[in-house]
Amino acid sequence: MNNCIFCKIIKGVIPAEKIYEDKKVLAFLDINPVAPGHTLVIPKKHHQMMSDVPDKLLGYCFIRAKDLMVKIKKTLKADYISVSVSGVDIPHFHIHLIPRNFKDGLKGWSTRTYSKGEIEKVAKKLKK
């Protein structure tokens, strides 16, 4: 993908603070972090959404993410690492690893409540 910012980072056209790299994946610091150490893990082969990534490569990405989580947590003395996959802001599949502390004051995702009968309707659709 010629216009993909992550593909440009992989090619070295755009600089990034890389913290891990091998033949299949690249991990680098997010330039707009939720918290210091916020890391993105991406496959080097372009796939827009998680559902587009071949299973073997997807598994590899998550295993590398798990390895990095342990190292980031220990190095930055975080209580835990929050993991997120959203993939709509940049059209290249990526995993967010966000170092967190129990008292860091960061809020989670905004939530909502189901209207009457809505939860059952959604569940029924998803079970089909």
**Known catalytic residues?**
94
Looking up tokens 């990405």, which residue turns up?
Answer: 61
Question: Contact, 78 vs 56, CB < 8 A?
Answer: no
Q: Tabulate helix, strand, coil % of the chain (nearest 5).
A: 35, 20, 50
* β pairing state of 80-84 and 25-29: unpaired
Cα distance from N-terminal residue to C-terminal residue, the chain? 35
Which amino acid, 77?
Answer: K
Which ranges of 1-128 does DSSP label H, i.e. alpha helix? 5-11, 55-76, 118-127
